[in-house]
């Protein structure tokens, strides 16, 4: 009985270590935040951090950093499922990590939110909006690639200057 208990604990520890080493995410988006309200025809500041592999505990054995990252602005009609509509918000976002991954490295960028003409066609009361950040790897077979990061956004439309917004 004691042997079986020790074996079960050993397996759980090994499994958690394997998941820790293989499933590390090296990109964290700090701005915008999930559920943040953005306004039409404004500049949205984007902040993200590339996590240094050596700052993780334990450090991953096979750290695979993306070579770049893209951001897509997506919208999907409420109550539907399927392929959302999208436009390229940002491309070629820098993802260079700190030398040897000994510390984190922060980056900022900005994106111009579409104007009220866009949102008169895709009314926020009828559509859900998000920014999707996708890491791009130069080696398509790199181990432990990070999945896209989806940030849901609320949109406030400034119609005060319509139709000249």
pLDDT in tens, 102-115: 899 999 999 999 99
Give the global pTM.
0.81
pLDDT at 20: 39
pLDDT at 140: 82
pLDDT at 43: 98
Give the CATH number for residue 54: 2.60.40
Q: Is residue 80 part of a domain?
A: yes
pLDDT at 68: 96
CB 113 within 8 A of CB 90: no
Which tokens is 123 given? Answer: 């009314």
Q: Is residue 47 part of a domain?
A: yes
Rounded to whole angstroms, the Cα distance separating 4 from 8 reads: 6
Q: Is residue 13 part of a domain?
A: no
**Number of independent structural domains in the chain:** 1
Distances (CA, A) of 32 to 41, 52, 70, 103: 16, 21, 15, 23
Distances (CA, A) of 115 to 31, 78, 87, 89, 151: 20, 21, 14, 14, 20
List 110's β-bridge partners, or say none.
Answer: 45
Domain housing 122: 25-156
Q: Which parts of the chain have pLDDT scores under 70?
A: 1-23, 160-165
């Amino acid at each position: 009985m004691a042997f079986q208990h020790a074996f079960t604990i050993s397996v759980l520890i090994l499994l958690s270590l394997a998941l820790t080493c293989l499933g590390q995410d090296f990109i964290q988006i700090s701005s915008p935040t999930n559920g943040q309200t953005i306004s039409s025809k404004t500049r949205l500041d984007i902040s993200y951090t590339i996590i240094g592999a050596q700052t993780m505990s334990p450090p991953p054995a096979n750290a695979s950093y993306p070579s770049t990252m893209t951001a897509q602005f997506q919208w999907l009609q409420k109550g539907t499922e399927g392929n959302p509509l999208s436009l390229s918000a940002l491309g070629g976002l820098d993802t260079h990590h700190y030398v040897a991954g000994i510390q984190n490295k922060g980056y900022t960028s900005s994106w111009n939110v579409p104007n009220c003409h866009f949102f008169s066609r895709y009314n926020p009361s009828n559509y859900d909006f998000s920014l999707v950040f996708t890491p791009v790897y130069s080696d398509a077979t790199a181990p432990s690639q990070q999945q896209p990061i989806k940030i849901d956004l609320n949109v406030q439309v400034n119609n005060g200057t319509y139709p000249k917004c």
